[in-house]
Amino acid sequence: MKNIASSKTSDINPELSGHAHAVYPGLDSRDFHAQETVARSQKRFRYAFLTSPDSVAIIRARGRTYTDVNEMFTLFLGYTKEDIVGKTFTQVAVWQKPEEQKELLSSIMKRGPVINQETRFIDADGVVKTGLLSVMSMPLNQELHYVLAIRNIDALRKVEEALEKSEARYRELFNNMSSGVAVFETINAGRDFVFIDFNHAAERIEKLKKEDLLGRNFVEVIPSAEKYGLPDVFRRVLKTGKPEYHPVAIYKDGVLQIWKENYVYRLPSGEIVDVYDDITERKHAEAKLLMYQEKLQSLASELSLVEERERRAIATDLHDQIGQTLSVIKMRCFELRDNLKEPNLLQQIDDIRELVKQTIQDTRTLTFELSPPVLYELGLVAAIDWLAEQFQHNHNLKCTVETDKKAKPLSQDIEIVLFRSVRELLINIVKHAGANKVKITIRVNKKNLRIRVTDDGIGFSPETKVTRAYKDQQFGLFNITERIRHLGGRLEMDSQRGKGTMITLVAPLKSSEKG
């Protein structure tokens, strides 16, 4: 039985140096069990030694020679096991500072174990490596040894350096953003929020110092935030994880005092971030610009109406003065011809009469071009009928006009703008649409008049190539839109590439006055 026990013990409990550990006969049962316990302990130690992720070496105190190293030790320092085992501690010169290596084992005897001491080593290729060194003494096989363990922290250092650089970049970006940024930690089960970060722009906007805010409740610092719903936004974003845009506008006596735009989102770690801008000055500037634009639009519309009145005045002068004078000249030519006998003079007077006739026709045409009398004498529908006939005759464009025959009370200014707008649309169709047919419908819809101009031309879309002709067409539509809008109307447009264009002019009817 003793021989069998001795054999088993030798198989499972080899010495770390590789020699078998003998169990001698003559031991009593207590000694035998103690021996087995030691064997199991050494087996566990051996397993841990071989599989450790750290670099581990065993050094015999007597002679200070290496008796064993694990695979991680050889990989870390670049030496083979044969290069190390059997040599003294100082012969394997792997410390960057040799004096530290010389004093290490002696200091352990005086001061005790070394735990996680950051140390720099030099491997077989001369590369400096950093590790956390731990050394302790312990008995192995009834002899004192040193167990030396090195944890490679080069990768950790690189990660830490990368994190430090990333943190520095984040901090630089955070503090130099033009937008204010406040970061909050949630407390009281997400009901309240306390400041944990605040950038320079936020300090400037709020006129508060970061050090005065950190750790304080958001609503306590800015009580008005509750009134404008910002904490509720924080709670929703915390719950749903979906970012939200939340503008806050504060007015006093109808005047804008503050306008802030908040973009709130939740970090993966659970903090709430509010990125915001004080755009009060921009809103004031936009309001001024809008006011100037409205004034310019109003001025442009007024100028257009003034121009139309001038056109009418000129047309009236042409008709009443020049037209009548030419008619008198034509009559005098007839009278003069009756008193002439010579063929040469008769021919000359006939030529003069033809020139006067042509001048009268040109004057009449110019009068209609400037301000068609039909618009003022017969109204908008009759004027559009006349306009359609002119375009059909002059441009070979089939034009049809449909009306619902209902009364269409309009102010004279609106009639003028609608007539000029329809004329501009027909000119656009002739120049750009390549259409063969145009249909104009005029209908009353509740309190508005709707004039729809539909063509069968090439149409256009937002993707249409922006040519000069296209820009001219768009500018014409812009002019029409602004003139109608100034008078309380609007322009509606529907067009598709290859499917023609439909443009509707909507204008308010004149309200009937009840006495």
In terms of DSSP H, where are the helices of 52-136?
A: 71-77, 81-84, 98-111
Report d(CA 261, CA 279) in Å as an integer: 7
377-515: in CATH 3.40.50.410: no
Pairwise pLDDT comparison (506 vs 12), residue with the higher score: 506
Report d(CA 318, CA 43) in Å as an integer: 123
Fold entry, domain 2-153: Beta-Lactamase (3.30.450)
pLDDT digits over 300-309, tens only?
767 777 777 7
pLDDT of 15 reads 43
Which residues face 149 on adjacent strands? Answer: 56, 134
Report d(CA 416, CA 311) in Å as an integer: 11
The pTM score is: 0.46
User: What is the average pLDDT across 210-225?
Assistant: 91
pLDDT of 161 reads 86
CA 446 to chain centroid, in Å, comes to: 43
User: What is the average pLDDT across 132-137?
Assistant: 91
pLDDT digits over 343-386, tens only?
888 888 888 878 888 887 777 777 777 777 778 788 888 889 98
| For the chain, percent of residues with pLDDT exceeding 90 | 29
CATH number, domain 177-278: 3.30.450.20
